[in-house]
Amino acid sequence: MKSFFCWRLIHMGEGINKDERMSWWRNAKFGMFVHWGLYSIPAGVWNGDRVPGIGEWIMHRGEIPVAEYEKLTDRFNPVEFDAEEWVNLAEDAGMKYIVITAKHHDGFCLYQSDHTDYNIVDATPFDRDPMAELADACSESEVRLGFYYSQTLDWHHPDGAGNDWDYDAEDKNFSEYFDGYVKPQVRELLNKYDPVSLMWFDIGTPSPEQARELRDVVRRENPETIINGRIDPPWDSGICDYESMGDNEIPDEKVEGDWETPATMNDTWGYKSYDQNWKSSGELIHKLVEIASKGGNYLLNVGPTKEGQIPQPSVRRLKEMGEWLEKYGEGVYGTEPGLFVKRWFGRSTRDDNRIYLHVQAWPSDGKLEVENLDEDIENAYLLNDPKNSPDFDVKKSELVLDLPETAPDPRDTVIALEI
């Protein structure tokens, strides 16, 4: 009886507390989001016309009939997909986890599912399972794997939510879809590609009861798997492990608890051939630091092409971010909010022994003043050059640093203060 009771506690997720489950995620700070699927083929264009909106929503925005959209499977043959290359890029960028769209709102599965033939192995000429290949590549690295799964919207399934141009809403049986399709597929993902470090749900489950049922499926199959906040907004319901902010949303102030900002590099998630509105690597570094300074994680998206390649503008920016993190990552990974949310020169993070000043606007006179300092500073140095210790003085809770004439990195130079 005792052994059965212990088994049940573990498999319901009660044998692992939240802090144990969240430990790696809290230290990670930076992850890669991947939106990839059939929508990368039209890439924002249908029948010669540009369809407004984000790339992965083209089926919905264009009200494309299921029968027409399904034909994309004949053309989906991403022979240039290389799982190791993707994982290596994540590592080069300093990212600690990958979350990829195993099933997005169009209902197409990027893995071989026993519950539908509408998947990349059975329905396309590619005849490979990229989720299995990514799982293998992640297992050979320190990058963790997570799956995005659209549990509510499914424009392909007659009982899924969202498609009212093919299916009559009054004829839908969402509960049957949820119990007979969603839950089995989530179990399938958690068992087929174990370990899955994160399940990323979206839009919100129609009822709190169903959200709890889906949480229990995850907890039974893998108690260590983290669940994001969009399983059941608002996140303080206790069903999820952390809060998911709105797309590209960064809060104005520090947020208590665990949270994450999912964000794009341009204006879309799924690949769009004509969206070239790329943020610079400097902007992306500033956003990463801002999010870390407020206590959150940054889940930054790439939208691979139909061939399976991550666009070069994304690759270039990620590598530039990785080069910066190679020098200054100590001021990001495993940190908490620092002395302040924002000052004229930049932001601040901290750990148990150090405060990190992220100087994004270098003082023209070389003197950096930090007021309202309630810590005893023992030493100060440039994080990328620990032997370079600027002169500093603390008087009446004000720190004054004599810095080099020019910034070592004009995007963000980190100064470590030992306390």
The confidence score (pLDDT) of residue 3 equals 34
90 class by beta-carbon count within 10 Å (0-12 exposed, 13-18 middle, 19+ buried):
buried
- Under 8 Å between Cβ of 155 and 105: yes
**pLDDT attached to residue 14:** 54
> Distance from CA of residue 167 to its chain's centroid?
32
Q: Phi and psi for 38 in degrees, rounded to 5? A: -60, -30
Per residue in 223-263, pLDDT (tens digit) is 999 999 999 877 667 899 999 999 999 999 999 999 999 99
Quote the CA–CA distance of 19 and 29 in Å, as a whole number: 16
Could you count the other beta carbons within 10 Å of the beta carbon of residue 88? Answer: 14
Q: What is the pTM of this model?
A: 0.95
pLDDT for the residue numbered 395:
85
What residue ranges of the chain are covered by domains with CATH 3.20.20.80? 2-331
Chain centroid to CA 257: how far?
17
CB 382 within 8 A of CB 401: no
Using CA atoms, how far apart are residues 33 and 301, in angstroms rounded to an integer? 4
- What's the CATH code, domain 2-331? 3.20.20.80
pLDDT digits (tens, 9 = 90+) for 307-338: 999 999 999 999 999 999 999 999 999 999 99
Measure the CA angle with vertex 145, ends 144 and 150; round to 5°.
145
Q: At the top level of CATH, which class does the domain 338-418 belong to? A: mainly beta
pLDDT for residue 1: 32
pLDDT of amino acid 353: 93
Tokens of 135: 């799982």
Q: Read out DSSP for 307-376? A: TS---HHHHHHHHHHHHHHHHHGGGTTT-EE-S-S-BTTEEEEE-SSEEEEEESS--TTSEEEE-S--S-
From start to end of 133-258, where are the E strands?
Answer: 144-149, 198-201, 226-227, 243-244
Locate 25 and state its tokens.
Answer: 């995620």
Q: How many CB atoms lie within 10 A of CB 255?
A: 16
What's residue 9's pLDDT?
36
CA distance 159 to 154: 8
Q: Which residues of the chain have pLDDT under 70?
A: 1-14, 235-236
Q: Dmax of the chain from CA atoms?
A: 73
